[in-house]
């Protein structure tokens, strides 16, 4: 009888390992659940957390933040200023995109004349310039457009017409004096040539209120007037498309 009791006790002790094993399996299952949850974190949330941490460590404050006592009051005009700044940033991006589109279209349409150095296209952050040699637009000492020039200007007008940007049409001459019954100086001649281009653009659908005709005469040369080639380069018409109404014409000449 004593042997049976001892055997029963030994058999009972052998089953206790199952409790520890079950606990181990439960912990292992919980561990894999946690690992799965961590591995399936939303990518966007992870990126947001990472960016916040980087920004926090990069922009370390130089002084301790003051302790705020009472309610924080804020000037209502601050929100208006923030909205204005945001709007200006958005407008600048739109303006840059517009100038890039216009540049691409102009270079595509005027490819042949650009290759012949009769037309030059230049772009900056605030304007686009289409420089046209006067020899393909006018006869010597004349402000009347030659027939061959009209298809060229019509192409330019067709590209510019859908856009609201301000347009300056500027006339330039060499320094050879002129004094005729129509023109007392190169100033009058350059202004009349610019006006001729403006009139054609207006007939092609560009709103007149967007355009200005400006004559600079001989006083803004881009080459030496001592050579034939230099004088040819100086006789030109520039169609300047401005990014917005706040860009001044003279800003484009500050670097010259």
pLDDT digits (tens, 9 = 90+) for 66-108: 444 445 445 555 555 445 444 555 688 889 999 999 999 999 9
Q: How many residues does the chain have?
A: 256
Closest C-alpha among 222, 212, 233, 108 to residue 170: 212
Q: How confident is the model at residue 215 (pLDDT cuts 50, 70, 90)?
A: very high
Question: At CA 230, angle to CA 115 and CA 135, rounded to 5?
Answer: 55
Q: How far apart are CA 153 and CA 137, in angstroms?
A: 9
Mean pLDDT score, 207-219: 96
Span 12-36, pLDDT tens digits: 555 666 667 777 788 777 777 767 6
CB 240 within 8 A of CB 168: yes
| pLDDT at res. 245 | 86
CB 199 within 8 A of CB 222: no
Encoded tokens for 123: 């772009």
Q: How confident is the model at residue 59 (pLDDT cuts 50, 70, 90)?
A: low
Mean pLDDT score, 49-55: 59
Which superfamily is assigned to 99-253 in CATH? OmpA-like domain (3.30.1330.60)
The pTM assigned to this predicted structure is 0.65
Q: How far apart are CA 201 and CA 241, in angstroms?
A: 13
Straight-line distance from the first to the last Cα atom of the chain, in angstroms, rounded to the nearest whole number: 119
**What residues form DSSP beta bridges with 19?**
none
Q: What one-character DSSP code corresponds to residue 16?
A: T
Q: How confident is the model at residue 246 (pLDDT cuts 50, 70, 90)?
A: confident
């Amino acid at each position: 009888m004593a042997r049976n009791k001892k055997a029963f006790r030994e058999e009972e002790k052998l089953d206790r390992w199952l409790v520890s094993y079950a606990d181990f399996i439960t912990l292992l299952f919980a561990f894999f659940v946690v690992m799965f949850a961590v591995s399936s974190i939303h990518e966007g949330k992870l990126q947001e957390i990472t960016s916040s941490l980087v920004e926090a460590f990069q922009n370390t404050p130089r002084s301790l933040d003051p302790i705020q006592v009472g309610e924080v009051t804020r000037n209502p005009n601050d929100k208006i200023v923030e909205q204005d700044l945001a709007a200006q940033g958005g407008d600048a991006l739109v303006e840059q995109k517009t100038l890039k589109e216009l540049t691409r279209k102009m270079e595509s349409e005027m490819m042949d004349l650009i290759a012949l150095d009769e037309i030059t296209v230049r772009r900056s952050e605030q304007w686009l310039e289409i420089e046209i040699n006067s020899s393909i637009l006018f006869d010597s000492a004349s402000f009347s457009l030659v027939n061959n020039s009209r298809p060229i200007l019509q192409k330019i007008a067709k590209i510019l017409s859908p856009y609201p940007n301000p347009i300056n049409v500027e006339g330039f001459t060499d320094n050879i004096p002129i004094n005729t019954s129509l023109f007392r100086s190169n100033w009058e001649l350059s202004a009349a040539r610019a006006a001729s281009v403006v009139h054609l653009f207006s007939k092609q659908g560009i709103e007149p209120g967007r355009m200005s005709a400006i004559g600079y005469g001989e006083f803004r040369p881009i080459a030496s007037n001592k050579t034939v080639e230099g004088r040819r380069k100086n006789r030109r018409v520039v169609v300047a498309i401005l990014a917005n109404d706040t860009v001044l014409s003279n800003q484009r000449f500050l670097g010259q």
